[in-house]
Amino acid sequence: MDLIADPYFWSNNDWVFLTILFAFFYLAYINYNFSTQLSLILKAPFSQKYANQFLRLESSSQNQVYLLPIFVFTISLFYNYTSQKFLDFLVCSGWISLFFFIKYLLLKWLGFVFQKNYVFEELIFHSFLYEKTLGMLFLPLILLLFYSPFSAPSMIFIMQVFLLTTFLYKLIRMAYLSFFNTSFSKAHIIIYLCTFEILPLVALVKFLY
């Protein structure tokens, strides 16, 4: 097996390298300017204490940390690995961004309808928390997928398992919070998980396969 990557293999797809490079620079910028928030958000999926600290820090600060673009870039690159067309990447990024935007607006609207804005603000935070963390952890794997001598099918399988594991952990974690965190209504959590998490995944799998 040839362990030396062909340096000219991606010569016609410089946009891939530039996109990954931009994502790393963007993450470095966030780490430089918001190191405390970044540290908290990496710990928040595993500890409610750090999640509460991040929420308090965000509410008291005028500067917000935007990590979802990294997730959008990495997932779009992963989804378009076989085609490697810049237009397909833009279309995929646009659809993912639109989904997140509509999801955010619907959760804000539900908070207004149920007159529980504070509870739904916390729900919104947990709703996007795992995608934000996943985008940062997924970025090095994307780099390996495109620019390493490792087998592409093996890397894709590992990344698919990683995505599925993260999704299942998100479901379990949010279900756990609904039972042990009094600010979350069990009915709201069940409706949220079925409508905003499981249903879109089923639709995506049906579309792809």
- Angle of helix 86-113 relative to helix 68-79, nearest 10 degrees? 140
Amino acid 197 reads E
Contacts within 8 Å (CB) and 24+ apart, 172-177? 173/45, 173/126, 173/130, 174/126, 177/48, 177/126
pTM beyond 0.85: the answer is no
Could you read off the pLDDT of 176-199 as tens digits, one per residue?
877 776 566 677 677 777 777 777
Ranges of each domain in the chain = 14-208
**Helix (H) or strand (E) segment spanning residue 187:** helix 186-192
Could you read off the pLDDT of 91-117 as tens digits, one per residue?
989 989 998 898 888 888 877 776 666
Decide if pLDDT at 142 tops 90.
Answer: yes
Work out the number of other CB atoms within 10 angstroms of the CB of residue 167. 16
Q: What is the mean pLDDT of residues 63-67?
A: 79
- Angle of helix 14-33 relative to helix 86-113, nearest 10 degrees? 40
Could you read off the pLDDT of 19-42 as tens digits, one per residue?
999 999 999 999 888 888 888 888
